């Protein structure tokens, strides 16, 4: 008797768990494909509730590297794309997958390295020269290696220095294929250099002996752009809600919200939707 009751109770519990939960309050939602830097830094956790409170539209962010986010948008799995590699974004629009690219905000990349600084690059103003010095010293360097905006920026810097790090002998250059946080974890554990976006770096909690060694070079500028998926190519796109989100991001309210996001008093992202040519 008891046994039977207990078994029925167990199955009942499992069946209850299997029922779909209560219908979400906001049945209006959009899917945004974005980067790990916007998610890991905590920007979305801060920003999105502000937009939802105003519009009633829930924003569901799937965060991957820029390359993966663009691929996801190409398949029609996102309503809005928010990434940070202008050439890729413009290509996305030119190929008809997106409606229009708008600038939203910027920050910068930094080179972080071990406090011991074996390649002696601390304080250098020319980032490509600093990378050349790291290559020359064969100091350990970890790369995102995942086709993300940060990875593409890093590759451009090596190219400007005339170095192909993947082909360099000595095994000092390691391509991980991971997000920014995971790459920073690896750099911390290996006492290696890496290129990071300042947003993720400022909110990263496992720094070990890492610190910023090179910053301020113009080429470290990191611009974020937002694009609506093309409803003509993807008829199921939630174009109205997606456009509402984009409009808010570039509006005075959205731009102020981005500027207000700080960690320990440091601003992580700088709004620049109104900057021509951004």
Partner 1 sequence: MHEFTDAFATALRLIGTLDPDLVEIVGLSLRVSLSAVLAAALIGLPLGAALAAFRFPGRRVVVVALNAMMGLPPVVVGLVIYLLLSRSGPLGTLGLLFTPTAMIIAQAVLITPIVAALTRQTVEDLLVEYDDLLRVLGTGPLATIATLLAEARISLATTVLAGFGRASAEVGAVMIVGGNIDHVTRVMTTAIALETSKGDLPLALGLGLILIVLSLAVNAAVSLIRDAAHRAYV
Supply the minimum distance, in Å, between the C-beta of residue 104 and partner 1: 20
Residue of 234, 245, 261, 269 that binds partner 1 (CB under 8 A): 234
25 binds partner 1 (CB under 8 A): no
Segment lying near partner 1 (by CB under 8 A), choices 147-155, 167-175, 205-213, 256-264: 205-213
Residue of 114, 140, 179, 242 that binds partner 1 (CB under 8 A): 179
Residue of 50, 115, 172, 206 that binds partner 1 (CB under 8 A): 206
Of 182, 199, 179, which Cα lies nearest the Cα of 190? Answer: 182
C-beta closer to partner 1: residue 33 or 139: 33
Count of alpha carbons within 13 angstroms of residue 12, beta-carbon side: 6
Segment lying near partner 1 (by CB under 8 A), choices 83-91, 142-150, 199-207, 253-261: 199-207
Of 149, 125, 142, which Cα lies nearest the Cα of 194? Answer: 142
Of 64, 81, 63, which Cα lies nearest the Cα of 229? Answer: 81
Is the Cβ–Cβ distance between 272 and 103 less than 8 Å?
A: yes
Task: Compute the distance between CA of residue 156 and CA of residue 199 in angstroms, rounded to an integer.
Answer: 20
185 binds partner 1 (CB under 8 A): yes
Number of residues that bind partner 1 (CB under 8 A): 41
Phi, psi of 146 (to 5 degrees): -125, 20
Task: Compute the distance between CA of residue 115 and CA of residue 86 in angstroms, rounded to an integer.
Answer: 33
39's tokens: 């998610």
Binding mask 237-256 for partner 1 (x = CB under 8 A): --------------------
Residue of 27, 167, 218, 236 that binds partner 1 (CB under 8 A): 236
265 binds partner 1 (CB under 8 A): no
Count of alpha carbons within 13 angstroms of residue 22, beta-carbon side: 2
C-beta closer to partner 1: residue 88 or 185: 185
Please name the residue that has the structure tokens 């170095």: 163
Phi, psi of 60 (to 5 degrees): -105, 115
53 binds partner 1 (CB under 8 A): no
77 binds partner 1 (CB under 8 A): yes
- Per DSSP, the three-state class of 144 is coil
- DSSP classification of residue 24: P
Site residues (vs partner 1, CB under 8 A): 1-3, 6-7, 10, 13-15, 17-18, 20-21, 24, 31, 36, 39-40, 44-45, 60-63, 75-77, 179-182, 184-185, 188, 203-207, 234, 236
């Amino acid at each position: 008797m008891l046994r039977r009751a207990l078994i029925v109770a167990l199955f009942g519990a499992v069946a209850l768990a299997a029922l779909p939960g209560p219908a979400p309050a906001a049945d209006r939602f959009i899917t945004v494909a974005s980067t790990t830097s916007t998610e890991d830094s905590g920007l979305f956790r801060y920003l999105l509730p502000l937009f939802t409170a105003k519009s009633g539209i829930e924003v569901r962010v799937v965060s991957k590297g820029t390359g993966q986010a663009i691929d996801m948008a190409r398949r029609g799995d996102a309503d809005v794309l928010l990434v940070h590699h202008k050439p890729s974004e413009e290509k996305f629009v030119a190929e008809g997958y997106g409606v229009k690219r708008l600038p939203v905000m910027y920050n910068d990349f930094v080179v972080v390295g071990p406090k011991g600084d074996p390649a002696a690059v601390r304080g250098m103003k020319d980032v490509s020269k600093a990378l050349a010095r790291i290559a020359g010293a064969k100091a350990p360097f970890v790369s995102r290696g995942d086709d993300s905006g940060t990875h593409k920026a890093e590759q451009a810097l090596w190219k400007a220095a005339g170095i192909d790090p993947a082909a360099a002998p000595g095994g000092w250059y390691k391509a991980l294929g991971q997000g920014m946080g995971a790459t920073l974890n690896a750099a911390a554990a290996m006492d290696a250099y890496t290129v990071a976006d300042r947003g993720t770096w400022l909110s990263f909690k496992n720094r070990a002996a890492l610190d910023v060694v090179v910053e301020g070079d113009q080429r470290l500028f990191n611009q974020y752009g937002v694009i609506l998926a093309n409803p003509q190519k993807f008829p199921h796109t939630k174009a109205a809600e997606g456009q509402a989100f984009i409009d808010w991001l570039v509006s005075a309210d959205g731009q102020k919200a981005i500027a207000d996001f700080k960690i320990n008093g440091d601003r992580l992202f700088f709004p620049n939707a109104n900057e021509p040519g951004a």
